[in-house]
Amino acid sequence: MTEKRQEKRQELRTRLIEAARDRIAAGGLRGLRARDVTADAGCALGGLYTAFADLNELVIHVNSDTLRRLGEAVAEASAGIEEPGTKLKAMALAYLAFARTHNALWLALFDTTMLADVEIPQWHKDDQAGLIDGIARTLAAISPDMDEDARQRRARTLFAAVHGIVSISLEKRFIGLSGDHLEGELESFVDLVARAPTPLNR
Amino acid sequence: MTEKRQEKRQELRTRLIEAARDRIAAGGLRGLRARDVTADAGCALGGLYTAFADLNELVIHVNSDTLRRLGEAVAEASAGIEEPGTKLKAMALAYLAFARTHNALWLALFDTTMLADVEIPQWHKDDQAGLIDGIARTLAAISPDMDEDARQRRARTLFAAVHGIVSISLEKRFIGLSGDHLEGELESFVDLVARAPTPLNR
């Protein structure tokens, strides 16, 4: 591929990701159609398949873009906080705020319907890992003696726990916490985790 | 309705719940069809609408049945354990074991696709609450001074956290813990929660 063609393809990819992101943000993954996305991006239906393998791959690119924005929101909310427990709390609250504000895009990150049978590519898993790394770095300040593997595992556990609290409560399919109590419970929960140094260290 | 008719309707409901449960256990909610369920239950398609409002209502009844079995499994695994931290750990591990063994039925409890637009009835929410009550009773032994409302909230938080760890790891859509580490992380996590009595009490 010549440099010029490469550049045009990259530009088409960017336009398609933006169009798909806007569609998902407005209406979720349900009912997302290649026809609508390409029309919004101002290209022919076939353009999608020049730029990506298929609509699923495009959605995974939108998800990586969402992870980047989520990572930025979490980093921004916790920047400059030294005390690791307070920092973890700020990160958890930023996660909740993002899930509320960008609900459809956030839900798409965990989709088990449209992407049910799609193998998640390694580059997207690497983007997921980026989010976990920020937690692991903060845990390092709480438990400096923990080895790197254990810390990575513990960071995944904490992420999944916070995600569970947020998602059960926001999805409203299973009894969770009402909106009034969600922030408070999340704070108490992270406090509890951050202030129990010994078992964190095992 | 005469007593005899009432009895026949109840018997039909039980048969339909069993047939739907077997179908969901084998193939999940995706592709569940009223036609197949009624054929398995040995009744006409119309029989479904004599017994239930629609297929969605039948699925919610299967979910209540699953909650009952899950509650039994958790109660059985933790029966006779006095120390509340150890008891909570046994409950969490039983939850994980149930999610693994009855994966499709467990996933149906949290379905956001087929039941996306269905209002969850109060009687099913009461069955969900039953599961949380067992956790709240165990928390009472750890934090006897906590008032009942706060304890209910904390029990929901802990349930959601454990659920998040289990579901992110089993669903494999987002990086979680590998099978080898899942039990160990879940145990450390519950330990950490159970052994931090002060913040539990706030």
The ipTM of this complex is: 0.91
Residues B140, B142: Cα–Cα separation, whole Å: 5
Are A70 and A31 within 8 A, CB to CB? Answer: no
Give the SS3 label for residue A86. helix
Whether residues B153 and A189 touch (CB distance < 8 A) is answered with no
Asked if domains B1-52 and B55-194 share a fold, the reply is no
Instruction: For residue A67, give Cα distances in angstroms to A64, A102, A162.
Output: 5, 11, 16
Q: Mean pLDDT of residues grouped by 10 in chain A (202 residues)? A: 88 97 95 96 96 96 97 96 93 97 96 85 93 92 88 92 94 86 90 62 43
Does B30 score more than 60 pLDDT? yes
Q: Does B27 touch chain A (CB under 8 A)?
A: no
Kindly report the nearest CA distance between residue A14 and chain B, in angstroms. 24
Whether residues B163 and A162 touch (CB distance < 8 A) is answered with no
The superfamily (CATH) of domain A55-194 is Tetracycline Repressor, domain 2 (1.10.357.10)
Instruction: For residue B163, give Cα distances in angstroms to A34, A172, B98.
Output: 34, 14, 12
pLDDT in tens, B128-183: 999 999 999 999 988 888 889 989 999 999 999 999 999 999 988 888 888 888 99
Topology adopted by domain B1-52: Arc Repressor Mutant, subunit A (1.10.10)
- Sequence-separated (6 or more) residues with CB below 8 Å from residue B124: B60, B63, B64
What is the Cα B43 distance to its own chain's centre? 28
pLDDT over 90 percentage in chain B = 70
Q: Does A123 touch chain B (CB under 8 A)?
A: no
Kindly report the nearest CA distance between residue A142 and chain B, in angstroms. 14
DSSP codes, chain B: --HHHHHHHHHHHHHHHHHHHHHHHHH-STT--HHHHHHHHTS-TTHHHHHSSSHHHHHHHHHHHHHHHHHHHHHHHHTT--SHHHHHHHHHHHHHHHHHHTHHHHHHHT-SSTTTTPPPPHHHHHHHHHHHHHHHHHHHHH-TTS-HHHHHHHHHHHHHHHHHHHHHHHH-SS----HHHHHHHHHHHHHHHHT-HHHHT-
Whether residues B173 and A113 touch (CB distance < 8 A) is answered with no
Partner residue opposite B164 with nearest CB, options A125, A164, A199 = A164
What confidence score (pLDDT) does residue A199 get? 44
Residue matched to tokens 């845990």: A139
Q: Give A172's contacts in chain B (Cβ within 8 Å).
A: 120
Q: Give A169's contacts in chain B (Cβ within 8 Å).
A: 160
pLDDT band at B202 (very low <50, low <70, confident <90, very high): very low
- Torsion over CA: A63, A66, A71, A74 (sign): negative
Give pTM, 2 decimals: 0.92
Q: Does A199 touch chain B (CB under 8 A)?
A: yes
Does B196 score more than 70 pLDDT? no
Residues B126, A173: Cα–Cα separation, whole Å: 13
Partner residue opposite B156 with nearest CB, options A160, A175, A199 = A175
Are A12 and A50 within 8 A, CB to CB? Answer: yes
Whether residues A163 and B163 touch (CB distance < 8 A) is answered with no
What is the Cα B192 distance to its own chain's centre? 24
Q: What is the residue-averaged pLDDT of chain B?
A: 91
Query: First-to-last CA distance in chain B?
Result: 52
Whether residues B193 and A188 touch (CB distance < 8 A) is answered with no
Give the largest Cα separation in chain A, rounded: 59
What confidence score (pLDDT) does residue A198 get? 45
> Would you give the DSSP letter of residue A112?
S
What are the extents of the domains in chain A?
1-52, 55-194
pLDDT in tens, A46-77: 999 999 999 999 999 999 999 999 999 999 99
Does B14 score more than 70 pLDDT? yes
Mutate which: B174, B182, B195, vs A, most A CBs within 10 A: B174
